[in-house]
Structure 1
Amino acid sequence: MKSRSAVMRILGTAAAAGALAWAAVTGGQPETSVQGASAEAVADAAPDYAVENYAYPNADKILAEKNIVLKRGDGRIVLADCASETGLMEVWARSQDRICFKVTGNSGWLTLEIPSVYGIKGSVDQTAEVDMTVGTEEKSFDVDKNSYTAVGESADEQGREHMLVEIRTAK
């Protein structure tokens, strides 16, 4: 009979612990509507949706290491090592060495800031349109695929420094 009373004590303790856990989870409040409370609890616990903001990954690190501001893009125009392969888009600026971008997909876009740009060589497969600013003016230039195009200060009658602010590509 001793084992029967031990089992009863264990069961009683487990039931009390379960009741305490239930009270802690529900805050001691009884549910008024099982369906409504369950639906609300599930809806409240659901994670937020992931929202793509198109921010360029590791932009802070690239700014610190290469002094290039990469803002936003669709991922089809990415900074590349100029020695890694041929056919890359090349941006020539007085403020930097040659800066290369790998262009993929049928189209792409990238917003950035590179000062003192004077020439761009298009990628091997895609044409590009680039937007540049000089003071408060904005100018656009068409860049043919796989060819060098004078842009910015080399295409400006006054030789003013231009900042490259956007690249858009298309096949």
Structure 2
Amino acid sequence: MRVCVFCGSSSGQDPVYLEAARSLGETLAANGIELVYGGASVGLMGAVADAVLARGGHVIGVMPQSLVDKEIAHRGLSDLRVVGSMHERKALMAELADGFVALPGGLGTFEELFEIWTWAQLGYHRKPCALLNAGGFYDKLTDFLDDVVDRGFVKPIHRAMLIVESKPAALVEAVRSYEPPKVDKWIKAGER
């Protein structure tokens, strides 16, 4: 199994985020799960990759040439794939992965998470999407998502597709045992 991890190229202000990235990497490697990620050597990205590698795991990084040129590519990976654009990066990571996990991060992390979760909602893939809610980082987001359901913009079945766990071991177990919902139609005839 391969899991794609979306996360920050910085470490954030709370050390709990860095510890979560390391712990997730260790948990992936201990379970024989390969890591697919954005290929950076910095921030939470570098921490999760280093933790997998330190435990003898396999890591595939995917990075656009423009970021390789800025010298942030991790040079110790099992496999670094250099692509031409961010669009190619996301498409290749999605193709390589059997599931997706978002650690704390910024705009890029949010964009990657929401795109891949939207693809699952639309039935473009049936792979698990998850948040590692380290230190309560995603609490306000999950509250907001619940409110969006209450307001009728996201169906409960689609909200339930997003796995949320605060511990790496529980998250890995939930990702491994994920069964996608059967959704025949996500918009009923006559709905606007």
Q: TM bucket by the smaller chain?
A: under 0.3
Normalised to the residue count of structure 1, the TM-score between the two structures is 0.24
- Which of the pair has more CA radius of gyration? 1
**Higher normalized strand content (fraction of residues):** 1
**Higher normalized helix content (fraction of residues):** 2
Q: Which has the higher contact order (CA 8 A, sep 6+)?
A: 2
